[in-house]
């Protein structure tokens, strides 16, 4: 039975978030990515594999090199999920602003 990796578990790891940040700028080879970390190329490859399994990263062959690039549509799925909470937080902050404004007005009227 194949277990599907959870996208949120994948982005919970700081190394994988750093890999995402790097390839968001430009597609990179595994060796180029590994140069940015104080770890083995094999460890970086494991992180890339997890990101690939979650479909956050895709690979593109160019000659003998493999380049990894960010899958923007998958990132949009994360943003869409977060957006529902962003709206809740904004609504709560707006309500808090109204309460504080009312309290300030009452204090100034005294």
* Domain at 34, CATH number: 1.10.10.10
Backbone angles phi, psi at 55, to 5 degrees: 65, 20
Domain membership of residue 34 (yes or no) is: yes
Domain membership of residue 1 (yes or no) is: no
Query: Given a cut of 90, is residue 51 above it in pLDDT?
Result: yes
Same domain? 12 vs 61:
yes
Same domain? 88 vs 62:
no
Task: Answer whether 47's CB lies under 8 Å from 16's CB.
Answer: yes
Q: What is the Cα–Cα distance from 104 to 98, expressed in whole angstroms?
A: 10
Report pLDDT for 4. 65
Same domain? 11 vs 33:
yes
Query: Given a cut of 50, is residue 1 above it in pLDDT?
Result: no
Domain hosting 78: range is 72-110
Burial 15-28 (b: 16+ CB within 10 A, else e): ebeebbebbeeebb
SS3 21: helix
Same domain? 13 vs 55:
yes
Same domain? 65 vs 81:
no
Same domain? 63 vs 80:
no
pTM equals 0.73
Mean pLDDT computed over 7-23: 94
Report pLDDT for 29. 94
Query: Given a cut of 60, is residue 108 above it in pLDDT?
Result: yes
């Amino acid at each position: 039975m194949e277990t599907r990796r959870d996208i949120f578990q994948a982005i919970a790891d700081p190394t994988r978030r750093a890999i995402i940040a790097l390839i968001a700028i430009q597609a990179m080879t595994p060796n180029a990515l590994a140069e940015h970390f104080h770890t083995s190329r094999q460890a970086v490859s494991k992180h890339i594999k997890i990101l690939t399994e979650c479909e956050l990263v895709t690979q593109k062959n160019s000659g003998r090199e493999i380049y990894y690039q960010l899958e923007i549509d998958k990132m949009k799925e994360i943003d869409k999920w977060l957006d529902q909470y962003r709206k809740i937080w904004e609504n709560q902050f707006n309500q808090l602003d109204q309460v504080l404004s009312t309290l300030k007005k009452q204090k100034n009227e005294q």
